[in-house]
Structure 1
């Protein structure tokens, strides 16, 4: 079976709505996390200091045909509080990466991340027919690694000197995977 490529989509549950990222989301996104060095610490771009900086980063992600960026909108407020993306995984058949994820600090350690990942991963396996989800993070980002493991990601290895950080140092990238046959048990645990 050949999997469908990710396409812009709206996914929602009672906590979040994921919708195609547009520049109209930028004011809310900047209010949620613009200028916050800790929010952007592990992202492959420098901390946006102005709305225009954030708009430039959003525009680059929107225009990149290897990513399908989605704004994360908190249902209770109707405001965008972060973004995430489906990403191409060259060299892996029927796989998709979920990445470029960030949320404003006020939404850390809430139901937001689990709610987003449930929507994203369910869509990948149930609607698109992929057989594998890849999640990557900086090898030094222990908070993100713990969150990935909590949703069921299995550490598959570390890519050494994988990417330059905005400060010019080399990032090692920790790679995690979830297979379609593993997901139902993780989903049941996360929703039970």
Structure 2
């Protein structure tokens, strides 16, 4: 049985506030990472204008396979993240299409976002598993996912074509409901 994709709601802690993504976030988002090829390297073609970024945001908001959130830090949107539907995987949800402005890499932002989203997936919904995946060449993302406690489950070779026409292999990770409490305790303990 495939789980129903959660609706966007406000999730917050002392580091970030996740709120339903809207076009109102675009000016802050563009300032945080629009036009930065390195920020967008693993996602889609870089949005070089606010209009480009608005188009991408609309696709997420309007797409039935996503539940997108703006990542707000110190009152400004600095990136976005999303629940993603994973058809064919019983009671599973993916966290993906995540980006943050470069100034927020290797800060508490990613861990805070993932704790909020994983908690919400397991506590407010009947999910059994949270999936995270990334490009096999994106070692920075793989390391961040592994730090969460996610288990490497395999690599789907030639999973999709990148914007530049080359093939992407997708590295899959997962966290099961019963594994999460110990990982969460470690992550929260490490943020003090």
TM bracket (short chain): over 0.9
Give the whole-Å Cα distance in 2 for the aligned partners of 1:3 and 1:29. 30
1:17-166 pair list within 5 angstroms: 17-43=17-43, 45-74=44-73, 76=74, 78-166=75-163
Q: Per-residue displacement from partner, 1:103-137 (whole Å, max 9, x unpaired)?
A: 00000111000000000000000111201000010
- 1:2: Cα distance to partner? 8.0
TM-score by length of 2: 0.96
Structure 2 residue runs of 5 or longer lacking an equivalent are none
Q: Secondary structure at the match of 1:167?
A: coil
Give the whole-Å Cα distance in 1 for the aligned partners of 2:118 and 2:131. 10
Runs of 4+ in 1 over 4 A off after TM superposition: 1-4
Give the whole-Å Cα distance in 2 for the aligned partners of 1:103 and 1:51. 16
| 2:14 match | 14
Give the whole-Å Cα distance in 2 for the aligned partners of 1:3 and 1:80. 29
TM-score by length of 1: 0.96
Count the aligned residue pairs. Answer: 189
Give the whole-Å Cα distance in 2 for the aligned partners of 1:117 and 1:51. 27
CA contact (8 A) 1:4 1:130 kept: no
CA RMSD after TM alignment: 1.2
Give the whole-Å Cα distance in 2 for the aligned partners of 1:17 and 1:100. 17
